[in-house]
Amino acid sequence: MFVKHLLHILSEENRFSRMRQISHICGFLIAIMLFFVFEAGAQSPPPTPSDDEINAIASELYCPVCENVPLDVCGTQACEQWRGVIRDKLMEGWSNEEIKQYFVELYGDRVLATPPAKGFNWLVYLVPPLVILAGVYWMVQLFSRRKKTVSQSEATINLEQEEYISRLEEELKKR
């Protein structure tokens, strides 16, 4: 029917106006096609996050049930459920930080692989560098003290030797 209608339009005398009609029809058809393409795109489900994407976040979280086990390598049912939650949140478009914050709100700070720098947690960040600095200071002190002792003992020996030589010279002169 559509082709027949097109042929009928082309057979008319005023080709110019007919061509405009055809271009309008084509434009209308393209618009309909584009509408369906975008509609289909909008309705398609978001891509499922890969295991690597899930594990990237899971590796920054710890299982609170089995202590000291990162979530990405934890094999318990609880951890499996948690990884499922990460997958769901990623599909909903949540960022890594938002997901981690969600877990902190639910299970507390202890789920984080790196504790947040607040309260007593500061000790984790302050104590190791302070211990290293104290160690370096102690080593420097130790070496400088040892150096001084060595130079002092050398000076004492030199003084004693000088005294001995002068005494020897005096004795020689007497003879």
Partner 1 sequence: MASQSNEKTEQTTRRGKPRWGRLVVWLGLVVFLIILGFGLMRTQQGPITIGEKAPDITLTTFDGQEIRMTDFPGKVVVVNFWASWCKPCEQEAADLEAAWQYFKPGGEVVFLGVAYVDTEPEARAYIEKFGISYPNGLDLGTRISQNFRISGVPETYVFDRDHVLQFVQIGPFQSLSQLKSVIDTYLAP
Q: Which of residues 55-74 bind partner 1 (CB under 8 A)?
A: 64-65
* CA–CA separation, 158 and 173 (whole Å): 22
Whether the Cβ atoms of residue 81 and residue 54 lie closer than 8 Å to each other: no
CB 83 within 8 A of CB 58: yes
94 part of the interface to partner 1, by CB under 8 A: no
Please, are residues 61 and 71 in contact by the beta-carbon 8 Å criterion?
yes
- Does residue 113 touch partner 1 according to CB under 8 A? no
Q: Where are the alpha helices (DSSP H) in 2-111?
A: 2-11, 15-43, 51-58, 77-91, 96-107
- Asked if residue 166 binds partner 1 (CB under 8 A), the reply is no
How buried is residue 70: exposed, middle or buried, by Cβ count under 10 Å (0-12/13-18/19+)? middle
Residues binding partner 1: what is the number (CB under 8 A)? Answer: 22
Q: With respect to partner 1, which residue has the nearer C-beta, 96 or 107?
A: 107
Contact between 140 and partner 1 per CB under 8 A? no
Minimum CB–partner distance for residue 98 and partner 1 (Å): 16
Q: How far is the CB of 46 from partner 1 (least distance, A)?
A: 18
* Residues within the interface to partner 1 (CB under 8 A): 64-65, 76-78, 81-82, 84-85, 104-108, 110, 120, 123, 127, 130, 134, 137, 141
